[in-house]
Amino acid sequence: MTRTTLVLARHGRTAWHHPNRYTGRSDVPLDPVGVEQARDLARWAARQEFTGLACSPLRRARDTVGPTAAATGLVPTVEPRLRELDFGVAEGRTLAELRAADPELVARFEADPAAGHFPDGEPPPAAVARALDALAGLAAADPGGRLLVVAHSTLIRLVTCAVLGVPLAEYRRRLPVLDPVATTTLRFPVPADAEPVALLAYNVPLCRGWDGPDHDDSNQRTP
């Protein structure tokens, strides 16, 4: 049996990170710190012997993987199924703003963010299904390889819960933080049904075992 390693990196910081605004379908660019984080990721990735790159189609993910593509000579696969969840009525708003407008809506979401997801948004189980299909496809296309995949906080946390068998309702409590350009490593079997997907690491900062620059990203909770 063959196994493919997928290193999932969250995109770099955007202007909506510090207010902690919900950023799903909104195509928000990297801020200046996020641009530097993308360069840091490229310096780290150039030493990792990746065999492939992939990313979400959203600008913040494409701009994060861009320096790595330039540094490695690899051409990223832009995979639409790796986009962030659509947060519906919560897009562009903070949890405090939503609570002030509709406290019962936020209470339902906090109790169970899978079943009580925001109106007009994407149900988390649907997002997990599309993301796992996309990741399995990337793994099958490069059996035995090692790929860097730039995606999004909520999507990566939901996928991690699904791989571990943790109820999706628990993703905000069990995995409350995923830092910009931190990595989460999964091992996918090829063929996909040969064994369960394995989690090898979660929320690993680039500065661990690396002498490049480090940024203070506030380690804030992500919605």
Domain of 11, CATH number, reads 3.40.50.1240
| Backbone φ and ψ of 74, nearest 5° | -90, 145
For 28-48, the pLDDT digits (tens) are 999 999 999 999 999 999 999
pLDDT tens-place string over residues 74-129: 999 999 999 999 999 999 999 999 999 999 999 999 999 999 999 999 999 999 99
Task: Quote the domain boundaries for residue 13.
Answer: 2-204
Give a yes or no: residue 92 inside a domain: yes
**What is the mean predicted confidence (pLDDT) over 214-219?**
32
| % of residues, the chain, pLDDT over 90 | 90
Q: Is residue 17 part of a domain?
A: yes
| 220 belongs to a structural domain | no
Query: What is the pLDDT confidence band of residue 223, given thresholds at 50, 70 and 90?
Result: low
Helices (H), the chain: 32-45, 59-72, 95-101, 103-111, 124-141, 153-164, 171-174
- In sequence order, the β-bridge partners of residue 17 are none
Q: What is the length of the chain?
A: 223
- Confidence at 11, pLDDT banded by 50, 70, 90: very high
Is 215 part of a structural domain of the chain?
no
* pLDDT at 194 exceeding the cut of 50: yes
Evaluate whether residue 61 is within a structural domain: yes
| 205 and 187 Cβ atoms separated by less than 8 Å | no
Q: What percent of the chain has pLDDT over 70?
A: 92
Report the pLDDT value the prediction gives residue 202, as an integer from 0 to 100.
98
24 pLDDT tier (thresholds 50, 70, 90):
very high
- Judge whether 152 lies within some domain: yes
Greatest pairwise CA separation for the chain in angstroms: 53
Does residue 216 lie in a domain region? Answer: no
Q: Quick one: average pLDDT of 140-146? A: 97
Does 155 map to a domain?
yes
Lowest average pLDDT, out of 4-8, 177-181, 207-211, goes to 207-211
Report how many domains make up the chain: 1
pLDDT at 1: 87
pLDDT value of residue 209: 39
Q: What is the pTM of this model?
A: 0.93
